[in-house]
Amino acid sequence: MATRSTIMDTNSFRAEHAQALDKDVRALTERRSQLLGESYRLFYRNPVHLVRGQGQYLWDAAGDKYLDVYNNVASIGHCHPAVIDAVQAQMSQLNTHTRYLHERILDYSTDLLSTLPPQINKAMYMCTGSEANDLAIRVARSYSGGTGIIVSREAYHGTSDLTSGASPALGSGQPLAATTRLVAAPDRYRVADADLGAWFAAQIQRQIDDMAAHGIKFAGFLADSIFSSDGVLPGPAGYLRQAIEVVHANGGIFIADEVQPGFARTGDAFWGFARHGIVPDIVTTGKPMGNGIPVSGLLARAEVLAAFSDSIPYFNTFGGNPVSIAAAQAVLKVIREERLQQHSREVGGKLLQELQQLMQRHDSIGDVRGAGLFIGLELVSDRAAKTPDKTLALDVIEKLRAQRVLTSVAGPHGNVLKLRPPLAFQPQDIDWLVGALDNALAGR
């Protein structure tokens, strides 16, 4: 069987790279290998030893400054003082679980739900996006009475047993569940059909029919609305509506995984799914909601959640604890006060324009696409044939790292640069990023 791509092994350090490292970095990699499980991976042939972060910048042990164009977990910027202050203040008072009364989780839930369509009116909290998606799959199965879950071909939704079984991006070493079905990603660059919405809806229906042919009842479609692991595919706004209509017509629910596109990142809307004028049945979130503090959420229509919660108690020991919720509340406040949704739209738009101009100078750039501060830059060896160039993409990543710009790759061919900086990214950072890309593509 052919090996599928994997988000873990692309752009990773390997043992054969060790001889080229300086002695201090090599010693750290060796110590890490001795102490940590072999499943872990490091970025880059020459791993980066980071010691400090602020906003969109990071510093290594030698004091060198880097531009972070990858880390969405620190969504509003590394070490944001508002989050630090909120966490310190709450930690000095109380940190416990949700089986005691506490106002903070209720106040935050009211605030968070106000950002969503009114049909979504219930909240539950966990510590990670994996846990949120795991619970979402369980809820989908309880509500539908089925077990079948549809995801895109390079989807990543988590590391639990349920979510890894619906995360083909983890690679062929991680088997998919027998009840998981894959759909081709809605890639406007490579799909020739003029009506992307109708094309994608047909892909969904085909997999639902395949489930039925194998005695599997359809439960739901789980997707991140920008299909980030599939290569950052924003598509035209609104095209997802037809697919969700097919999902509902077949008795399933739509789970919007907003771990990456949510919380103002796409600029057009607070939530990624909102670009398409759709209302999910369940929305899941992850650590970006707390700027990296372990907190995640499941937000749902009451009637959908009831199918699970009316019969099964759920307790996530420190999911929704006061300290994590304080961080999440601080993030919401900062997004509003710093107008980060508008910022993401405007700065992301400027970055997209600059990258499109860069495309005119380099035939190796096949496509540039994105929404807000979430952009994919696809590298090819033949622009006319759209031939993916993974080798070039990985070399460019290393050359960017040498110019102290940090990012990585995505997509089924590993040839799409995934440009997803903290929302603290500023207009003046565009020159650093685009200049470094220009140098890397020119072989400088």
At the top level of CATH, the class of 81-338 is alpha beta
Q: What is the pLDDT of residues 365-422, one digit of tens each?
A: 999 999 999 999 999 999 999 999 999 999 999 999 999 999 999 999 999 999 999 9
For 99-152, what is each residue's pLDDT tens digit? 999 999 999 999 999 999 999 999 999 999 999 999 999 999 999 999 999 999
Cα separation of the two ends of the chain? 39
Protein fold of 48-78+340-442? Aspartate Aminotransferase, domain 1 (3.90.1150)
| Predicted pLDDT of residue 2 | 43
**Alpha carbon distance 360, 317 (integer Å):** 53
Residues of the chain with pLDDT under 70: 1-8, 444
Query: Do 322 and 103 meet the contact criterion of CB atoms below 8 Å apart?
Result: no
The reported pLDDT for the residue numbered 8 is 62
The predicted pLDDT at position 4 comes to 47
Domain boundaries, the chain: 48-78+340-442, 81-338
Q: Identical fold at 48-78+340-442 and 81-338?
A: no
Answer for the pair 265, 272: CB distance below 8 angstroms, yes or no: yes
The alpha carbon of residue 181 and the mean position of all alpha carbons in its chain are separated, in whole angstroms, by 20
Helix (H, G, I), strand (E, B), or coil: what is residue 359? Answer: helix
Distance (Å, whole) CA 228 – CA 232: 4
Please, which residues bridge with residue 257 across strands? 284
Q: pLDDT at position 408, please?
A: 94
Q: Which residues, in sequence order, are bridge partners of residue 299?
A: 123, 283
CA contacts within 13 A on the Cβ side of 59:
10
- Give the number of other Cβ atoms within 10 Å of residue 46's Cβ: 16
What per-residue confidence (pLDDT) applies to 6? 61
The answer to whether the beta carbons of residues 298 and 271 sit under 8 Å apart is no
pLDDT of 7:
62
443: amino acid identity, one letter: G
> How many residues make up the chain in this entry?
444
C-alpha 77: how far from its chain's center?
A: 16
Q: Which of 444, 386, 397, 395 is nearest to 419 (CA)?
A: 397
Task: Provide the whole-model pTM.
Answer: 0.94
Please list, in sequence order, all residues whose beta carbon lies within 8 angstroms of the beta carbon of residue 316, skipping any fewer than 6 positions away.
98, 125, 126, 127, 131
pLDDT at 20: 75
Question: What does the alpha-carbon distance between residue 65 and residue 150 come to, in Å, rounded to a whole number?
Answer: 42
Predicted local confidence at residue 41, as pLDDT: 83
